[in-house]
Amino acid sequence: MLWAIAAALAGVVMVAIAAPFLRMPGRGMAEEAALPAAAYDLRVYRSQLAEVDRDLARGVIPADEAERLRTEIGRKVLEADRALQRDAAAAAPARRAPRALAAAVALVVLGVGAFALYQWIGAPGMPDDPIALRTAEANRVYEERPTQAEAEAAVAARPPAPFMVPDPAYSQLIEQLRAAVAERPDDPQGLRLLAEHEARLGNVAAGARAMAHLNALNGAKASPADHAQLAALLVDAAGGLITREAEAEIARALAGDSNNPQARYLQGLLYIQNQRPDRAFPIWRNLLETAPPGAPWAESIRRVIPDLAWLAGQPDYQPPAAPRGPALPGPDAGAVAAAEGMSDEERQQMIAGMVSQLEGRLAAQGGTPEEWARLIRALHVQGNDAHAAEIAAEARTQFAAVPEALAQIETAVAAAGADVPGPAASTGPAAARQGAAGPGAAAAPRAAAGGAGTPSDATGAGGSAMGATPSGSPATTPAGGTAP
């Protein structure tokens, strides 16, 4: 059907192109000068007939004389008309032949050129891809997904991804936690801590097993957040692929809380992986448009949703603008006024106290990329470049999955001249938070090993990892950002 329509349109275009070449020429000044003698005579005779009628009407000539003149002029008109027809018949082929040849050449050039252009930039061998076939292919991909065990085995066969070396004290605490859970395998608190910290160490499959055992112990009392966390762990362990086992946990989470953002995010990702952007788009669109300020999943969705909208048949969709973050805290007017009356030594002590407060707050609560960059610059100003390098290394690890945030850190590093070759064991705020609070504290999150940009970046098994998180912490996403 498509080719028939294309052929009909091509025929219409060819007729439109050929018509000017085949049309009889107009009567312009040049052609007026080239009129045959018979045509000129015919005009003269017709003018004479009109003049006879005028003379008869004015009474200049009698009726019988007018009739005689009409007869004689009419005979001359017939002779001139026959001569004109003979001249036209002889001249027509000569006039039409060049035009017809030019039209034929133009049509051949146009047709051959169009065919060659399509062979060059088109896909002549591509078969039809109607919606029914696309839906059937999506269903096939969905039905033939690997199992969780198969996906984990495939991930284990890959080269290990670079990972931050944990602090020895932290590793020792994790070993103690593993031993405690082995002695008391049905301890809910121990299982929850083990699931969180195994995932942080990169042992995602072990974390998923611990979380699955915890949910089995809780049975119907397992919360939607627990099911969503287990789903995220299973996805991470499968290299980003949402298996049937992970899908079942997503369904349980949504059955208990249809607004659970992590489960909804994963549900949209499931549709993307199975070639159904039309179903994924409304889910992620709603997540983005209803995201509260600072929602960890908003930026990862915002980066890919234009492409997702195009694939879903919504090419004109414009995502909401990213909200501006709050202004960075700084000294108030009173502190500035007090600093004016201080000595240089007192002023330096005040600045050192402010830097220490900032580092302590980042250690206890975390912070924005702007605050980490401010800390790096402040340490450089104090001359503590070694510690600035440690903070920069930790910040790079913290924001490795968020290119926009990482760019701010790199700008601060370049300005401070802190030479940091790559992630390493850190003594910065997150490490201090981890060492002081033990395994239950919030250690530095690990970076996702994946890219960002289009929905296809979030669909393949192994595109990146979906990290598991404690309650309230974001998980890294296959899109390279953070998941609910």
- Encode pLDDT of 140-182 as tens digits: 888 888 999 999 999 888 887 666 567 788 888 989 999 999 9
Q: pLDDT category, 35, cuts 50, 70, 90? A: low
Q: pLDDT, tens digit, for every residue of 444-470?
A: 222 222 333 333 344 333 333 333 333
Q: Across residues 322-349, what is the average pLDDT? A: 60
Instruction: Report the range of poorest mean pLDDT among 25-29, 175-179, 403-407, 470-474.
Output: 470-474
DSSP-derived 3-state class of residue 475: strand
Domain boundaries, the chain: 2-121, 184-320+450-483, 344-437
The class level of CATH for 184-320+450-483 reads mainly alpha
How far is Cα 235 from Cα 240, in angstroms, rounded to an integer? 5
Residue whose pair of structure tokens reads 């401070």 in the numeric block? 416
Residue 476, strand partner residues? 482
CA R_g for the chain? 42
In degrees and rounded to multiples of 5, residue 475 shows phi and psi of -100, 145
483 vs 90, which has greater pLDDT?
Answer: 90
**Residue 237: burial class (beta carbons within 10 Å; 0-12, 13-18, 19+):** buried
Burial (CB < 10 A; 0-12, 13-18, 19+), residue 314, is middle
Q: What are phi and psi of 477, to 5 degrees?
A: -120, 160
Alpha-carbon distance 13 to 28, whole Å? 28
Residue 433 has pLDDT above 50, yes or no: no
| 66 CB burial (10 A radius; 0-12, 13-18, 19+) | middle
Name the band, by pLDDT with cuts 50, 70 and 90, for residue 93.
low
Residue at 196: amino acid letter:
E
